[in-house]
Structure 1
Amino acid sequence: MFDKYRRFLLNRMTSTPEIVEDIENSLATEDETVKHSLHKILVCRWPEGNVELFETLYEYFGLMFIPHNFVASNLVTSFYTDSLTLVLKVMKMDFMFQYNRNMFSLDILLNDKTTTECFGDKITIDEVVTKIINQRFNEHRELNLTNFCNDPVLHERKIHFHKLVLLAHFKILMLRMGKETRILNLSSNNLSQVPSEILNFFIKGDLIGVNLSNNNIPSLAELQRISSKIEKLWVEGNPLCGDILDAVTYIRQISQKFPRLTELDGVPLNNHGVKMPFFKHHVNDLGNKTKLVIEKFVTLYFGHYDTNRLKLENFYVPHANFTITTDFKETAEDILKDPYARHSRNFINPVKRAMYVEKNKKRSYHSQQAVITVLNCLPPTEHDLSTFRIDVLQHDSKCLVFVIDGVYKELPHRLSKERFIHFRRTFILYYAVKPYNNMLTSYVIVHEMFSASLASPEIVRNSFKFPIRNICQIKLIEPDTEDVQTMCNIFIYYTKLKKSEAKARLIKVDWDIKKALKQFTYDLKSGAIHSDKFIEDDDFSDLSSLLEDELD
């Protein structure tokens, strides 16, 4: 029946009730011929582009459709669709639609082409999209819809998937995928908000992770809660990441929307938010495996470097090589006293090098113990990981070579004052396939080159803008009332101190409970804590040893 309308020009003059009835019957019977028929929509003197036209038709007629083969000219703009529902709606709306206070008329070339003529084989637009979706679903139960609208197959077949939410048109397909998908990747789709029309198909299934990275979500306010089951979330590369928020506030606000979150932007979080995505400044585009190794290394290495450098021993092989290069602008007398100068193999400035070598023999470091000894001689530090720039030079099955450029400050120590240091450290790591330090596999440092100089005033101004949290510390930063209460309760549980005394000790060490417990243990052993500071008279003979076990 539908064949009699082959290339039939349908408009206000040719439309009849009989044609309307035939189209309604065709929709009801789901005729195979209808599924493979494409209808040409023609718009006279359309002033805008294709996306504006598709959006206008969607809003005016109130239904979704997938356009094909859009062509624009000065007089007539056209595209194809397989949606008889759209054709029927246009007919009932008298072939007119409004845009910017102007009325535009539509003509329809009914049943103009078949899918075989357009695509080269007998396949519908729905079948093309279904095939692409199935290919983007992997064995890890991840549905990868990244940059979906620009999929090469859609582009090759001239199917204009102008916005991601068109997938909601494929209800049966989306319901099936929603039951099977655990990780949904929606990255690089120019989303300005969370696409609830799509996510509604997934939230009742096993979905635990959503990737919204590299979109156009403007603020955290737009990041509406998706599901209470979400454990992994990616939002980096959105304008919301440019908000003036410190890392702790950023994580706290996102965690309020996703209470079961354990991983943010590929970085694990714990209950206190100690681990966090603190730096994203990679010089080159890294693969997921390389990025994971680098971020774990940097987190652990510099966490120990700023707290307890003896624990860095396990990072180096027994025959590790290490050099320091410095160029500080001090007097000759200061150079001889400077710990960097005393342990440097060479100087950037040859004059300073000559002054030092006259009184000291050149030293080199070719063992694990020597490296740790040198590092322990350097002043205590605090690194600002947000300033780190990382350049990976090589990563393969045998080694990893990368350079870290950043800023740290030397904490006031004895007679020394606080200094800001601009550093560059080059690490050469080998992949140990045999057990090393009780680990089945590990990356270990074989060579390291350490260069340090005084930071310029501009670098100093742009560093340490936000509170620094170290992975090796259990410390509150700008705590609210609830955080203070929780930390005090934990400290009271271990020490049996009265609340006022517990709070005073925590404030004294800037809410670092690990430091507070160490100081408490020392004071308890030396008898410096009066009995009236405790909640009740208990036997504290075993308390100090218990705390030492906990601290270890």
Structure 2
Amino acid sequence: MAYFNEDNHRIAPLHVRKHRGPYKGSSFRRDRQRGNHHGGFGGPGLLSRLVIDRDVTMSDSSQDSSSQPRYNPYGREFCKGDGRMDRDWRQGKGGGGRGGGRGAFRGGTRSRTGWFKITIPHGKKYDKKWLVPALQDICSIPYTPIQYHDDHNNVHFYVDDFTTASALRKCSRKVTDCDGYKVVVHIKRSDPPNFLFPNLKVEELEHLKQCMSKRFDGSQQALDLTSIHTDPDLVSQNIKVALNRKTNMEAVIKIIEENIPQLTSLNLSHNCIQRLDELSELVTKVPHLKALNLSHNDLKSEHELDKLKGLKLVELWLVRNPLCDLFKDPSSYVSAVCQKFPQLLKLDGNDLPPHIGFDVETPTTLPPCKGSCFGSDDAKVYIQRFLQQYYSVYDSGDRQSLLGAYHDDALLSLTTPYNVQNPSRSGLREYFKDSRNLKRTKDSTMRFHLLKHKRLNVVALLNELPKTQHDITSFTVDVNAYTNTLLSFTVGGVFKEVVVDDKSKESTRAFSRVFITVPAVNSGLCIINDQLFIRMATTEQISRAFVAPAPTPSSSPVPTLTAPQQEMLSTFSLKSGMKLEWSLKCLQDNEWDLNKAAQIFTQLKTAGKIPDVAFLK
């Protein structure tokens, strides 16, 4: 009877094929030819083949490299640690965190290290002495099944590198048993089996210590722990050490701390390391460490490196870790790593450009806030007068009178912070429908629609906004540009929305506003561009808002002041350092007698009876 494989090609009958089923035995000829005797941990089996790429050696961190040209990662293609050009960068491969993530074989980052669990559904019915060689005869890579066992009707075992797992996956449905059923092979990435690497005993720790001493170079203060789990001294004693296990890594670090705390170079390559939690102790226990090799491991996220940020590394190797494939180009990779280790001079064996920083040796603090900056006394007078007039109308309840403040072709844009998850949580719901937030509004037509053009449209929008009361004492002003024909300035402060019914509640907001103005036809300033940004006020702003009493209509008739009174107000405010509204009140209380107002001001200031909010910042 003939059989057909999954490609519908005719194959030999079962009784003349090489594998005669679980009852007929099998040939190990291919294994003998390849030198693979299916040994355990003591022989040249699977673990001895863990290193599938050329080893990356740890160079002397103290070696003078000044004579070597500096490596410019932005000027040429990125190279692998063995000097070959990395085609993955040029062909856009990798990037397991950018759209893949569906497992080891479907679109994810194909790590060359790590453990994989092999499952044979209904494999319990097969004899191991038939099944393992049957798969081996058609598998392109020799393999040794680690911890072969059955679970219910299924058979499981482990392999410890991607290449072997991938080759076994291709064997699925390629072997037919004596009943005519095809053997299915399932592959899944796995943590190392816990029973494979038990906690080390006291005598085993002593063997590990002796093994590490042979790998230590005292002249260079360097320790090479590359593929420590395959070390012959440990394998011969059946001591299983895996540095991707917490207890094993802690044991290694403790030995280093107690015996060689002056260590400057540590090589941990080819150890299937997935996390760096235990290595964070190196910051305090090995403070002189300058060179660290983590290449050919299984680090999947750059955030793992944050656990080592306290180390003052000058050399670091990360090549052949899945995290290296997450960056769009080599410069992004180099930049991300250098942000975590600013003193780094070498990355993956390549010299980096010299670090440029602005660090200072002595602790410094930011200079104190100076408050408003007007640029000149003339600009200060114009702006303060303009703001008092503008906001007295804005807060009056009828903003129609603001038409006279805007140019015929004026533009206005309103912006608020945007919460992607829940916009209503920001507390600025009344402003969202008119908010021209460019991150939220992608459509160009809508962007143009939300930009109010012509003064009628500008004032119409302002009329729709909630009724307000601004705290003029909270205003700070910065002049951006000041010429004979243009005045641009930014004003920021706080306001509260006026309660109009029982359902509404009083809320304090903060704002920042950029006015671009030109001289008006008659006098004063005319707005040609108005950019308004409204946000929630901070706790500090709320606590300091509206401390001074709100100006009353009798105390702020700025538009009705005569020209001499306007000049006197400006002079008194400039000499006293008080804000316009406080200077105005002082002059009015002293019947516009400048000398008398100055005398009373001096007495009150000496007695400490004038609050700080009365003065310009």
More helix by share: 1
Bigger Rg, which one: 2
More strand by share: 1
Could you state the TM-score of these two structures normalised by the residue count of structure 1?
0.31
User: Higher relative contact order by CA 8 Å / sep ≥ 6: 1 or 2?
Assistant: 2
